[in-house]
Every structure is written in structure tokens, then in C-alpha cells.
Chain A
Amino acid sequence: MPEAIKGRQHDRQATGPAAATLLEARNIAKCFSHPNGTVTPAIGDIALSLAKGEFVAIVGPSGCGKTTLLRCLCGLLKPDSGTLSYAGKPVSDVPEDVAVVFQEYNRSLFPWLSVRRNVEFGLNKLSKTERRARAEEALTRVHLTDVIEHYPWQLSGGMQQRVAIARAVATQPNLLLMDEPFASVDAQTRIRLETMTASISTELGLATLLITHDIDEAVFLADRVIVLSPRPSSVLAEVVVDIPRPRTELEVKAMPRFQEYRRLIHDLIVAKQSDTPDVVDTPAPDGTEPERSP
């Protein structure tokens, strides 16, 4: 089984028509230059694609430039090189129907707006009644209708992240990007939020890209897991998770297959980490490595 899933797989793209590709990144690279003149490469060379309605998780060791990658993928940050297209068009700024849930809810929800107005933030083009209806629908999805007039900072962390998810869902996006959305909440809340995210994504047919350092979370939620190397990151492998939906946390995590996926991804990350010291700028040559840009 590990043999079957190791390495780069493109089953989904191979089976689905090319038109179903929603987001495509080719040879994305990004460096950061510091005031003292040194240049830190954050993303080495990343190619990935996401089909409509697909749930993809990106995992990698901490500090491998996952957040930078997400900011590039949604148009918040311009990559140094490479091409990025969304729905067939090149990405210059954040596309209309892309929503993002950030890691730090207390820095992404607006503290001067009530929960309702936060959720309505992206709906400015609609009439007031439509905005209200959409916001209430989105807040119902995350079970938060009872705190609608509160300020976000009056809520617990898990509740705030649900508000952020509602804000994203309310815009009826085609693509939802999530940057370690559950990293700052406690374990039990985390499981609830993961299950909620899975069902929202399935119900709405949302293409979802989840960035995480948590392998269990990635395998539990995703159709496909993209494993990144340490910084400057590149794609080590793509693993297609063949576990039927709907998935329930306890059942899935007890499956032998879940354990195999988990082990496989873990080994990929750990092996890569142990043979590349932190300070090295270019990754060691590796059979599974995609071709690097000159």
C-alpha cells in the first residue's frame, strides 16, 4: 500500500477533465530580503493544483513557509517567480470568490464590528436584507446564532474561529483557504471544528485548501495531502487519501488505513528533516523531488 501512494500522484487531474481545475500554481518561488541584506528563501519551487470541490491539505514541518505559500496562493502576496491561475485567469489580487480563514482569529476578525457585521463584511454589494439573510444562514451553519450582536472579543477562541468560518462561508466562495485554522484552540474544540469544516465543505461543494502542521488533521479532512519539504519548501509528495465520506473522527482514526497514511506522511516529513539541517538553503537531491526551476 505505501508503494501505491508514495510519490507524486495525479489521479484526480488524470481522471477529471482539465476544465475542472480551479487553482493552479506552477513553479512558485518566494524569497524574503532582510534590511541587513540577507535573503531567506521561503518557498523554493512549488507546483500544485486544486480541482473544483476538492479538499486538499498541505502539511509540512514548522517554519517551512506554509503561511507564505497560502498568502501567495490567495493573491495577498506576489510570488517572485512562477505562474498562478485561478479559474483560468492569472491571479493579481485576491479573486472575488475566494475566502480565507486565518490562523489568528483575534487578528483577523474586526474588533470594532459585532459578530453580525463581521460576517456581513464581505457582502457589501448586496442589499441590507440579503446581507442579513446570508449572515444569519452562515452563522446557523456554525451554530452561533445566539451571539450575533456580541463583539468577537467577547467570545471564546473556538467561537471566534467559527465566526471567521461564517464570514468566509457567507460570501459563497468557490475556494476556501484555511491557514492552520485550529492551531490556537484546545483539542476538543479542535475536533468539533474539524468535523464542522468537513461537513460545510462537503455540503457546499467547496474547494478547500487547508494548511496545517497536524498530520492527523490533514488525513482526516483531505482528499489529497500535499507534503512539503523544509524551507525553502517544495512538494515532497502528494498522497491521495482514499477514505470514504462522510468521515467521523473516531471511526476514521481507528482505521488501519488511516494509520498507514499517517505513518507514511510522518516518515516523509521526518526523513526529510533529518537529512537536511535547518541552515542549509537548498534541499538535498531526492528522487521524489519535482524538477527545479533554473
Chain B
Amino acid sequence: MTMHETRKAPPKGVPFRPRGRSRVRGLTVVRAVAGMAVFALLLFAWELAGRHDTTGLLPPFSDVAAEMAAILTGERLTTDVLPSVLRALLGFALGSVIGMTAGVVLGWWRRLDPWLRPPVEFLRAVPTPALVPIAVVAFGAGNALRVWVIALGACWPVLLNTMDGLRRVEPGYIDSARVYTSGRTTAVLGRAALPAALPQITSGLRIGLALSLILMVISEMIASSSGLGYLILQSQRLYALTPMYAGVLILACTGWLLTLLFSAAERRALVWFEGMKGRNHA
């Protein structure tokens, strides 16, 4: 820790770029190939099992894939798939805003803590799906219900991580920000505390996104006439097992894609964080 001065100064005029050295990159390729191989093997096993299945409970993967393609190119794309994704994203966005706002209030103005903590702890203990019937009464069985249920569930991890992140901000950053903004609270918060807490807020958002997808499915299985959750449930009731599996796979792909997009955005926003961590561990 006291050896800072012995660190080599970076080459002149070369700003920071995330490091992608060839050895690391080679390892990544090997890993990706290994992962794909196992994945392909699992699908192949599914295909075999489906073809030899006599109970009619397990359609082969090729049938399910064909059904998936049919859904994604047919009219169910606009009646079920896209509305679902949109609800999940809207609910996630709304929940994030609620969570961050409440997290900032609780994490920044600590004097409010004794007043607000008991109700917050209590509300947090309510499993969100239990709110669905209440939300049906409040919003009717429409889109508003589903978006709100998703938002109310997804806001918690965001709230807790924002609050905790703000409380853990290095006091030195706050001091510096106070000196160089003449102590304006909004500037100290917006220009120092929130950026410093961003890594942790991002972890909260990541969990919130996963929760959004779960709650989307749950909310669409109750009092619904469209969406991926509805598609899966309806297919099961009609004993149309191929579309049921196709729905689950589409759901899985959606979640995977959204997580991928989120990770890409996260890497962009937190280049400094990854770089700094890399330095300290080197």
C-alpha cells in the first residue's frame, strides 16, 4: 500500500483502455467453446429423449425450435412476446426509479432512517406475488396491474443497494466534493456520492432485472389474456405441449438477451471500476 511510488508511470499520451490481452482472450475463447459444447450436448440429449418418448409429454427439441420460430415470426410475436418484454422493461424502469429515489432518501438523509426504516423493513417482507390480487382490485386486470407488480417487486434490490452504496461512499470523496462545490448538497450527491455508489447500484439493478422477468411471468399467469406467461399457461391447459416448451424457451432467451445487454451497458459505465480493481489486485 505504501509502494505507490514504485508503480511504473503509464506510457505517455496513452489513455486507459480496458485490457484484452491475448492470453486472456484465448482463455475466453476456450471457455466459450466449452460452454457451447455442453449446451449442444444437452439439447441433443433432449432431442433423443423426445424422439424415443412414448408418453407424449416431451416433444423433441427440433419440434419445439420450429414452434419457437413460428411464434416469433407469427402474430403471437406482437400479441404475446413483445407486450411481455415491454411490460417487463417498463416495470423494471419504474421499479428502478422508485428504488433509486427511495434508496437516495434513505441512504443520504440518515436522519430519516429511524422514521422510515420500520415501514420499509415491513413492506420488504411482503412477497410481491401476494400483491397481485390487491393490484387487480386497484388497477383492474390490465397492463397497469402487471407493470406495477413488476415495479413493486423490482424496486427492492435497487433500493437496498442504492441505500447501502451511498452509506459506504468513501468519506474522502464527499469531503473533496464539498470543498469543490462549496457544499451544495445536490452537487455533492449527484457528482460524487452517486457515481461512487454506482457499482453497487448496478448490482441492485441487475437483480431487479431478473426479478422483473419472474414477476412478469407470474403476473401474466393471473387474470391475463396475453403475454408469454399467458401463452405458457394456456398451452398447458390445452395440452399443447410443444408451444408450452417453446414459450419457456423464448422466455429463457429473452432473459439471457436482456442480461447480456445489461452486462454490456454495465461494462461501459464502470470501465473505471474494473480498471481500478484490476490495478489493486495486480
Contacts and interface: CB of A to CB of B under 8 A. Distances in A.
Nearest to B195: A112
A104 B172 contact: yes
- Report whether over half of chain A's contact residues are helix, strand or loop; otherwise say mixed: loop
Interface in B201-227: none
Given A110-B176, A111-B272, A151 B195 contact: no
A185 B9 contact: no
B190 to A, nearest CB: 11
Contact of B179 (A94, A106, A107, A185): A94
B172 A122 contact: no
Nearest to B2: A184
B237 interface: no
Contact of A155 (B10, B170, B192): B10
A146 B176 contact: no
A171 B180 contact: yes
B26 interface: no
A10 interface: no
B9 to A, nearest CB: 6
B9 A159 contact: yes
Contact of A150 (B4, B10, B182): B10
A109 B4 CA distance: 15
B198 A108 contact: no
B20 to A, nearest CB: 17
Given A153-B275, A156-B7, A156-B9, A108 B181 contact: no
B10 A154 contact: yes
Contact of A157 (B4, B182, B192): B4
A96 B276 CA distance: 31
B196 A93 contact: no
A107 B180 contact: no
Contact of A114 (B5, B15, B192): B15
Given A104-B172, A107-B170, A157 B179 contact: no
A102 B4 CA distance: 16
- Report whether over half of chain B's contact residues are helix, strand or loop; otherwise say mixed: helix
Which interface residue of A71, A76, A113, A150 has the most chain B CB atoms within 10 A? A150
A131 interface: no
B178 A94 contact: yes
A154 B272 contact: no
Contacts of B6: 156
Contacts, number: 104
B182 A110 contact: no
A286 interface: no
B5 A93 contact: no
B176 A150 contact: no
A227 interface: no
Nearest to A186: B5
Interface string B147-179: 000000000000000000000001111011111
Given A112-B273, A189-B5, A121 B173 contact: no
A130 to B, nearest CB: 16
B281 interface: no
A146 B171 CA distance: 29
A124 interface: yes
B95 to A, nearest CB: 25
Nearest to B185: A93
B180 A76 contact: no
Contact of A75 (B170, B183, B275): B183
Given A110-B173, A112-B195, A151-B16, A124 B9 contact: no
A198 to B, nearest CB: 21
Contacts of A151: 16, 272, 275-276
A100 B12 CA distance: 28
A115 B172 CA distance: 17
Interface string A86-110: 0000000111101110101011111
A99 B196 CA distance: 21
B182 A102 contact: no
25 contacts: A93-B182, A94-B179, A100-B176, A106-B4, A107-B173, A108-B172, A111-B273, A113-B272, A114-B15, A121-B180, A121-B191, A122-B180, A146-B12, A147-B10, A150-B15, A153-B276, A153-B279, A155-B10, A157-B4, A157-B7, A158-B4, A158-B5, A167-B180, A171-B180, A185-B5
Interface of A: 71, 74-76, 93-96, 98-100, 102, 104, 106-114, 121-122, 124, 146-147, 149-151, 153-160, 167, 171, 184-186, 189
Given A110-B192, A112-B195, A147-B9, 7 more contacts: A71-B175, A100-B176, A150-B10, A154-B10, A156-B6, A158-B5, A185-B5
Closest 5 CB pairs of A and B: A107-B172, A157-B4, A122-B180, A93-B183, A149-B15
